[in-house]
Structure 1
Amino acid sequence: MKHHDRNGAGALLFHGLFLAFILAPLVVVCLSAFTPDDFLTIPTRHFSLRWFIALWHSDDFNSAFKTSLWLGVLAATISSALALPTALGLVRYRFAGRDAINAFVLSPLMIPPVVLGIAFLRFFTLVNISGSFASLVACHVLLIFPYALRLIMAALTGMAGDAEQAARSLGAGRWTTFRRVTLPMILPGLVGGWVLAFISSFDELTATIFVAAPATITLPVRIYMNMSETVDPTVAAVSTVLIALVLVVMVFLDRIYGLNKVLVGSH
């Protein structure tokens, strides 16, 4: 029987073309950010930092970036704090209605964001907090909660229970066992869940449009508004900065925890 070489020339060519297909749009956007012209185009004469300087001095984009940053940090922290005990209950215990609860807490993944956005708008209007930053945080916590939950559950599922049992047999209480054994073992999954939740919050657009007010406009909403009004390389400059920030975060996580552990969510 003839065996196909997974590292052969054909396989390497296919993976190279696939990688180029994935990265080509990002490369085009990043190159367009350095254009000296007033419209989106790849620079052919010389590179310019004109649009990065314009972005630096743009109050609208700076305010939207700060809003998205704080919103993502708060929403990811709250959702991770809620997801941790939820994951412990769903993974460690078997009880009636467990599958129904699991499906319920993951249901935001199955509901279109536009439907959730309309529902949030109606609810927040009824309770008289529409347009506030608190309503935006509550909306994002619900939207990103399943992402944090899934990675923490994966970390708990992949963790061997022998260490916990050994700690309990040596006299450690539940809190001591959790703090000194369980938490360190699932920390990569917890960090990965927080990062994924933060990115999902930072990137959320559809539901945010319904909930945000002029004083709480996030960066994705500001980009959408800018593209609706005009077509200039400012959006490309914003995208380039965000791509660079994501790369920095990925390198940092790889240095601290190992990126494979963070993404898989377990040791």
Structure 2
Amino acid sequence: MSRNGPLALSFHALVVIFMLAPLVVVCLVAFTPENTLSLPTSGFSLRWFEAVFERADFLDAFHNSLILAFSSATLATLIAVPAALAITRLHFPGRDFLNALFLSPIIIPHLVLGVAMLRLFALMGVSGSFSWLILAHVVVITPYVLRLVLAAAVGMDRSAEQAAESLGAGRVSLFCRITLPMILPGVAGGWLLAFINSFDEVTLSIFVTSPATQTLPVRMYVYATESIDPMMAAVSALVIALTVVTMVVLDRVYGLDRVLVGKQ
């Protein structure tokens, strides 16, 4: 029995269309010459893209989002890798509690976390600090890295580690030359997923950002409450284009199959 019959292919096509249709519509609206959110019917225009690059607040917010996503994803990875190795290889009291603690931000609504961190930062007197904003994002994106690294660590063959250890390899050398390369797809995929989630995070960021540390999603949200024009579509189209270019470059240089599923 064929697994890719007409019914299955039709279903897959509908799913793909359902997922891509909103992105296509947003990209088309970004080229409208009109002053309202509408599809371009009389021609295409770049006026809204020019408007985006003329807005210093959007450029600063984009810069903040890049730094925030890169920093928080890197810190989350540095935390998740040793935590995942300890959870999968060591047996100690509280191991299950530690695992649940790291993964708890996934099930806690970000609205609740945002309100709690807003109160905590106010009591500590660090409201509006970019460094503490990074730490707030680390809390909510660490579970994504941890899950992928846990999967990579559980599925790896430890015979190479045992052979290297029997030949006198030290712990640092063993980790850098054997363990890390074997779990690298999980680490890279986790970092990428954490970067995307941090860059897109808006619910938590609304509560813990300040005008000086405003991220791009928060700036877009604030602008959408003030005005409804195609400039939001232009910003969205630019982000979509940047994401596509990044994924293509990553696929050509390293391979998305290796990053996301660990295929060798």
Letter in 1 for 2:22: P
Q: 1:138 pairs with 113, 131, 135, which one?
A: 135
Instruction: Tell me what 2:239 maps to.
Output: 242
Query: 1:178: how far off?
Result: 0.6
Question: How far apart are the structure 1 equivalents of 2:5 and 2:101?
Answer: 46
Question: How far apart are the structure 1 equivalents of 2:260 and 2:43?
Answer: 39
1:202 has 2:199 as partner: yes
More displaced 10-residue stretch of structure 1: 202-211 or 15-24: 15-24
Query: 1:37: how far off?
Result: 0.6
Which secondary structure does the structure 2 equivalent of 1:27 belong to? helix
1:14 has 2:15 as partner: no
Instruction: Tell me what 1:124 maps to.
Output: 121
1:34 has 2:31 as partner: yes
Which secondary structure does the structure 1 equivalent of 2:212 belong to? helix
| 1:34-113 alignment, distance < 5 Å | 34-113=31-110
Number of residue pairs the alignment of both structures matches = 264
CA deviation map 1:188-208 (0-9, x unaligned): 211111111111110011111
Query: 1:92: how far off?
Result: 1.5
Letter in 1 for 2:197: S
Which secondary structure does the structure 2 equivalent of 1:216 belong to? coil
CA deviation map 1:77-113 (0-9, x unaligned): 1111111111111111122221111001111111110
| 1:162-181 alignment, distance < 5 Å | 162-181=159-178
Which secondary structure does the structure 2 equivalent of 1:214 belong to? coil
1:216 has 2:250 as partner: no
Letter in 1 for 2:211: P
Alpha carbons of structure 1 residues 218 and 246: separation in structure 2 relative to 1, 3 Å: same
Letter in 2 for 1:241: L
Question: How far apart are the structure 2 equivalents of 1:106 and 1:8?
Answer: 39
Q: Percent identity?
A: 57
1:182 has 2:172 as partner: no
Letter in 1 for 2:109: P
More displaced 10-residue stretch of structure 1: 228-237 or 87-96: 87-96
Which secondary structure does the structure 2 equivalent of 1:11 belong to? helix
Question: How far apart are the structure 2 equivalents of 1:17 and 1:200?
Answer: 26
Question: How far apart are the structure 2 equivalents of 1:58 and 1:83?
Answer: 37
CA deviation map 1:163-222 (0-9, x unaligned): 111111111111111111111111121111111111111001111111011111110101
Alignment gaps of 5+ in structure 2 = none
Instruction: Tell me what 2:256 maps to.
Output: 259
TM (norm. structure 2) is 0.96
Alpha carbons of structure 1 residues 266 and 162: separation in structure 2 relative to 1, 3 Å: farther
Question: How far apart are the structure 2 equivalents of 1:134 and 1:75?
Answer: 10
CA deviation map 1:5-54 (0-9, x unaligned): 32222222222122111111110001000101111111112111111111
TM (norm. structure 1) is 0.95
Question: How far apart are the structure 2 equivalents of 1:141 and 1:197?
Answer: 9
Instruction: Tell me what 1:24 maps to.
Output: 21
Question: How far apart are the structure 1 equivalents of 2:188 and 2:249?
Answer: 12
Determine if contact 1:75/1:137 at 8 Å carries over to the other structure.
Answer: yes
Letter in 2 for 1:19: V
Question: How far apart are the structure 1 equivalents of 2:242 and 2:170?
Answer: 41
CA deviation map 1:45-75 (0-9, x unaligned): 2111111111111111101101111111111
Letter in 2 for 1:31: L
Question: How far apart are the structure 2 equivalents of 1:266 and 1:77?
Answer: 23
Query: 1:261: how far off?
Result: 2.2
Alignment gaps of 5+ in structure 1 = none
